Amino acid sequence: MALENRYDFIMLFDVENGNPNGDPDAGNMPRVDVESGYGFITDVCLKRKIRNYVELVKEGEAGYNILVKPDRSLNAKFTAAYEAEGLPKKNKGKNADDVKKAREYMCRNYFDVRTFGAVMSTGEDPCGIVRGPVQINFARSISPVNILDVSITRQARTTEERTETGETEMGRKSVIPYALYRAEGYVSAALANKSTDLSEDDLELLWSAIINMFENDHSAARGKMCMRKLYVFKHNNVLGSCPSHLLFDKITVSEKDGVLPRSFTDYEIKVDRQMPEGVELIEKI
């Protein structure tokens, strides 16, 4: 069923005593804008958690495979699409009709391709390029973050040589005591209907994945992460009734006066519920 509405959305989520997204260029410390001190989390990290949730709840169900995961090479999955559609292989995309059929197969069978799109133009059996109707911006912390570099004691030694220096050794762990993050996203019904056939059922699964993406992703490194709010702006048509940035301005989050933020309740959320004509605000959480 084709999408009849454009959507924009805002996610508010927090971390307590954890590292929500390590930066490999900085010793895997939490990502931070060095100029402003605000923390950020990449869209890739957030989409990974959405993919993991969908795979967990839809495992083995047709149409809900996940393309971007470390099981097989991408080119092997592209070749599998040609085999499933009975198309001649190893033509390196010379037949545009074959590439189109393979691309349609990938959209039908892979949820993350339908949702986020994919570059599938590599290998001997390319499946083309799909522009994803769902896009998510980097998340940014509401306040500057304070990164603690904590010393820890490690008792399990990895080699016999290292055990000769003693029973324990010291390690380090970088955490953020507390931070509230905001991320904004978009759902283009026009792109969904034109290129990937993202359905209403897929969209409901996306909202569920966003709400629950931290619930089955807990780890010692990430600490306590919670999705606190999900605001969805529903337009009454495919192309939208209002620019997204005007809708995003309807939700403001700020620190309460005189409080060092260490919990969600230390912030004040103001919602301007006077929506432009043709837009409905839905609070999923």
| Whether residues 278 and 219 fall in one domain | yes
| Whether residues 184 and 237 fall in one domain | yes
| Whether residues 180 and 285 fall in one domain | yes
Specify the 3-state DSSP secondary structure of 146. coil
Do the domain assignments include residue 167? no
Do the domain assignments include residue 165? no
| Whether residues 195 and 255 fall in one domain | yes
Do the domain assignments include residue 285? yes
| Whether residues 186 and 252 fall in one domain | yes
* Average pLDDT value for residue range 251-280: 95
Q: Taking the alpha carbons of 27, 29, 35, 41 in that order, is the dihedral positive or negative?
A: positive
Cβ–Cβ < 8 Å for 206, 178: no
- Residue in the block written with tokens 């043709």: 278
Q: Residue type at 230?
A: L
Domain range for residue 86?
Answer: 60-129
| Whether residues 82 and 197 fall in one domain | no
Cβ–Cβ < 8 Å for 40, 140: yes
Do the domain assignments include residue 214? yes
Q: Which residues contact 41 (CB under 8 A, 6 or more apart)?
A: 20, 21, 31, 138, 139, 181, 183
Q: What is the pTM of this model?
A: 0.92
| Whether residues 80 and 8 fall in one domain | no
Confidence grade of residue 211 (pLDDT, cut at 50, 70, 90):
very high
Total of domains in the chain: 2
Buried residues in 142-155 as b, exposed as e (16+ CB within 10 A): bbebbbeeeeeeee
The DSSP 8-state label assigned to residue 276 in this structure reads P
| Whether residues 274 and 185 fall in one domain | yes
Specify the 3-state DSSP secondary structure of 46. helix
Note the pLDDT of residue 1: 67
Do the domain assignments include residue 31? yes
Note the pLDDT of residue 173: 85
Q: Which residues contact 170 (CB under 8 A, 6 or more apart)?
A: 151, 152, 153, 154
